[in-house]
Amino acid sequence: VQDLAFMIDFLKQAFAATEHYRATGSAGGTHVEMRIGDSMIMISGGAPNNATKPMPIMLFLYIEDVDKVYQAALAAGATSLMPPTDGAFGEPRGAGIKDISNNEWYFSNWAARPDAPPPYVEPEPEQATTEMPDVIPMLTYEDGAAAMDWLTAAFGFQEVTRWIDDDGRLSHGEMRTGSGRIMLASPTPAYESPKHHREHCAQARAWSTVPWVIDGALVYVDNVDQHYAQAKAAGATLLGEMEDGGPGRRYRAEDSEGHRWMFMQRPLR
């Protein structure tokens, strides 16, 4: 589209779309990903001198309230292609509009049929976390209790279990993020974190100059840019800037004791 900002506002007003990702390319154009219901669309535009010619398309959506969306789209600047009509497209009710960039949108209610599955429904939060993952990273920290507090503040992990021995050391801790879990502990006073180990080990220092996640963990998150900002504000050691491309938008960081993590944008299911 030519007027990218206007188009983004239109989608928010008409379809209650939410923006999930934005990046500007070397030619000055911008790529934006927006979510409508359980689906994602990608939009590009805004290049200097209108270098890229718009390519209008037609899309079809299943929504809950045809009349509400139709009126919201007209209020946002769309023109009518078909007013809300009962029985349209073989569904209970449907309508059509043309947006401000000449894309055509048709939408209707969903009619359950024996030969068609229902639309995808997001699981409830408690459903997503009741089962234990098949693989759980087990990490060791010099001060496990402090590490749990830090992981909550920096990475947004949620505490599940914290067992403190009589000597004040963490004997067992569990934390979760989304459907994933980690376990952590402080087994003996002699344990040395990766951060302190490389202070006197030349080989460990050499390994740490490579900003890879060595013996670390990968975590999928819903909004990796927001997560990056939270980790940075909490003092995480960032191993580089945000990265794009396969396998996904991501960043790498070290926690308070030198354990390494990669956080990646959760793919749309």
Q: Write out the H or E segment, with its range, that includes residue 82.
A: strand 79-86
- The predicted structure's pLDDT at residue 132: 74
Give the C-alpha separation, 69 to 71, whole Å.
5
> Does the pLDDT of residue 179 top 80, yes or no?
yes
Q: What is the pTM of this model?
A: 0.55
Q: Pairing state of beta strands 58-62 and 104-108?
A: parallel
Higher pLDDT, 45 or 107: 107
How many C-beta atoms lie closer than 10 Å to residue 54's C-beta? 15
Report, as an integer, the average pLDDT of 131-152: 92
Map residue 23 onto helix, strand or coil: strand
CA 109 distance to own-chain centroid: 28
- The predicted structure's pLDDT at residue 233: 94
- Tens of pLDDT, residue by residue over 30-59, are 888 999 988 999 998 877 666 667 889 999
> Does the pLDDT of residue 70 top 90, yes or no?
yes
Residue type, 28: G
- The predicted structure's pLDDT at residue 129: 46
